[in-house]
């Protein structure tokens, strides 16, 4: 008789998640024992936890790298999962670094804050390898619950409270929709496992089921909410603006990228039989996001809000990779999001350096004369904005190039044209900021950027990654190609 319980060796595949989650709980407890951990200690512990998890990931990658299903096939370790896990750990580490100043200045309990970051990171790690719809849903919730609290962390500030509450209410609704979709998909295919789903949906007649159609459309809607694609984007500007900026960076980079990973896995691996249908729907969503995000960003006066709309537009670009999930699209998506994570963190790190309490330093005017006062910061921000627009020599350019090429190759030329046109539009609002930095003089009310070595270090790292991805994309493309999942 085979035991229903997993062999302990199978649990080893979860070592990175276990390490990060356990150390997160430990940090929570350490943070309240005695006089509590100091800011430096808590941040150090959090970075250490990410490091331990990274070592575990490295060990696991050697052991299970070839692609393995464990724990009753609810958890998969393939190159795709490893790619995303590595990216999640980078994003979590960057989030810890850029959060330090916010936590210290607000005199928050550091243990609590970093523990929430680590737990959100644990959820993201699990999302990268879920191979069962319920496991995917629970890991998504683990990430989301921690994010809701983080979004409202700036407790005294009404806008942050609003962000937390809005994110929570809308997030809960979308999770409900997602769960309903999962239940309908289960009802029509009789399984929650992605590989069995693919087989069941490929059976003759299965794809015509209306129950299945309702199920996958709801599933898609719930996930599109998480990646902030139009028309499921309404929460994004308010949450991104109201949440503390380090949290915004974490949401915009980490949470968005990993939600894309989940979306791609569920649809590419679980429902390839219906690819023509969901790709059509995603093409519409992608077009809407590109147009709406870019047009709405034109009129913003708050930099964080502009970046929120720009992130909606970027969700639209990234969706091109799924719309064209032929060979090129599948890995272009990975490459694009890889570059997007670094660019987003870099941009928000510059915003953080200019911020004061009460959200000062968020309007375009606050960037006046930055080029003279802090040449490195201005130059770095310039590169990040080039990358966001999609201009060489940055990773953003290479990513967009591959995405548009993939769309054309898959016969979606009009979408690619729309993407190029909206990118041109985005030049206006990104470069308005550049004009402020380089061609205006600072006034007395302009905030001076902080001298925070760790933040400047994070910006330098992101800058390096953005340029490396743009100038020598070869190795990263190879990495993305090896990790990609494509519709057969």
Partner 1 sequence: MESYVPILVSALLTALIVLGLLLAARLMRHRDSPLTDREPYECGNEPESYAHDHRFSVRYYMIAVLFVIFDVETIFLFPWAVLLDKLALFGLIEMVVFLAILVAGYVFVWRRGALDWA
Residues forming contacts to partner 1 in the complex (CB under 8 A) are 3, 5, 25-26, 28-29, 31-33, 109, 112
Residue 482 phi, psi (nearest 5): -70, -30
Rank residues 4 and 474 by Cβ distance to partner 1 and give the closer one: 4
Neighbours of 468 (CB within 10 A): 17
Rank residues 29 and 472 by Cβ distance to partner 1 and give the closer one: 29
Of 336, 307, 312, residue with least CA distance to 407? 336
The 3-state secondary structure of 77-121 reads ECHHHHHHHHHHHHHHHHHHHHHHHHHHHCCCCHHHHHHHHHHHH
Q: CB within 8 A of 172, min separation 6: which ones?
A: none
Rank residues 25 and 420 by Cβ distance to partner 1 and give the closer one: 25
Neighbours of 422 (CB within 10 A): 20
For tokens 């607000």, what's the residue? 106
Lookup: tokens for 397: 């350019």
Min dist. Cβ of residue 68 to partner 1 (A): 21
Rank residues 32 and 360 by Cβ distance to partner 1 and give the closer one: 32
Rank residues 6 and 393 by Cβ distance to partner 1 and give the closer one: 6
Min dist. Cβ of residue 36 to partner 1 (A): 9
The 3-state secondary structure of 325-394 reads CCHHHHHHHHHHHHHHHHHHHHHHHHHHHHCCHHHCCCEHHHHCCHHHHCHHHHHHHHHHHHHHHCCCCC
Rank residues 31 and 244 by Cβ distance to partner 1 and give the closer one: 31
Min dist. Cβ of residue 256 to partner 1 (A): 28
For tokens 């015509």, what's the residue? 208
Residue 77 phi, psi (nearest 5): -120, 100
Min dist. Cβ of residue 39 to partner 1 (A): 17
Min dist. Cβ of residue 65 to partner 1 (A): 27
CB 245 within 8 Å of CB 351: yes
Min dist. Cβ of residue 71 to partner 1 (A): 13
Rank residues 8 and 474 by Cβ distance to partner 1 and give the closer one: 8
Rank residues 28 and 479 by Cβ distance to partner 1 and give the closer one: 28
Min dist. Cβ of residue 38 to partner 1 (A): 16
Report the Cα 199 to chain-centroid distance in Å.
Answer: 30
Min dist. Cβ of residue 111 to partner 1 (A): 9
């Amino acid at each position: 008789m085979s035991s229903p319980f997993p062999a302990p060796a199978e649990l080893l595949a979860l070592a990175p998640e276990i390490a990060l989650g356990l150390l997160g709980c430990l940090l929570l407890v350490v943070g309240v024992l005695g006089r509590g951990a100091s800011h430096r200690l808590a941040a150090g512990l959090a970075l250490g936890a990410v490091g331990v998890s990274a070592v575990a990931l490295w060990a696991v990658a050697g052991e299970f790298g070839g692609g393995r299903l464990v724990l009753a096939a609810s958890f998969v370790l393939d190159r795709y999962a490893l790619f995303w896990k590595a990216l999640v750990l980078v994003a979590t580490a960057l989030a810890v670094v850029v959060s330090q100043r916010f936590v210290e200045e607000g005199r928050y309990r550091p243990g609590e804050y970093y523990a929430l970051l680590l737990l959100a990171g644990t959820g993201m790690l699990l999302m990268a390898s879920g191979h069962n719809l319920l496991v995917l849903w629970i890991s998504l919730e683990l990430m989301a619950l921690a994010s809701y609290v983080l979004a409202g962390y700036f407790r005294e500030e009404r806008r942050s409270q609003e962000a937390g509450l809005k994110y929570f209410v809308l997030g809960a609704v979308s999770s409900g929709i997602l769960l309903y979709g999962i239940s309908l998909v289960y009802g029509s295919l009789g399984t929650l496992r992605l590989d069995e789903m693919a087989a069941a949906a490929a059976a003759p007649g299965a794809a015509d089921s209306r129950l299945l159609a309702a199920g996958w459309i709801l599933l898609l809607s719930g996930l599109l909410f998480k990646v902030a694609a139009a028309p499921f984007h309404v929460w994004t500007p308010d949450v991104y603006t109201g949440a503390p900026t380090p949290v915004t960076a974490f949401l915009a980079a980490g949470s968005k990228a990993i939600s894309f990973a989940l979306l791609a896995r569920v649809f590419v691996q679980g429902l390839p039989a219906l690819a023509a249908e969901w790709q059509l729907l995603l093409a519409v969503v992608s077009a809407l996001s590109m147009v709406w995000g870019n047009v709405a960003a034109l009129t913003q006066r708050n930099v964080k809000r502009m970046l929120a709309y720009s992130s909606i537009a970027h969700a639209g670009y990234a969706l091109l990779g799924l719309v064209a999930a032929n060979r090129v699209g599948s890995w272009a998506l990975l490459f694009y999001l890889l570059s997007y994570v670094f660019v987003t963190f870099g941009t928000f790190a510059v915003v953080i350096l200019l911020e004061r309490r009460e959200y000062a330093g968020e309007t375009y005017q606050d960037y006046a004369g930055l080029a003279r006062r802090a040449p490195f910061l201005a130059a770095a921000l310039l590169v990040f904005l080039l990358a966001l627009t999609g201009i060489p020599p940055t990773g953003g350019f290479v990513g967009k190039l591959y995405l548009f090429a993939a769309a054309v190759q898959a016969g979606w030329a009009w979408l690619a044209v729309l993407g190029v046109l909206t990118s041109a539009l985005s030049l206006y609002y990104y470069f308005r900021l550049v004009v402020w930095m380089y061609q205006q003089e600072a006034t007395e009310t302009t905030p001076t950027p902080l001298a925070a070595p760790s933040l400047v270090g994070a910006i330098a790292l992101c800058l390096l990654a953005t340029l490396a991805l743009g100038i020598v994309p070869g190795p990263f493309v190879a990495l993305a190609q090896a990790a990609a999942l494509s519709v057969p």
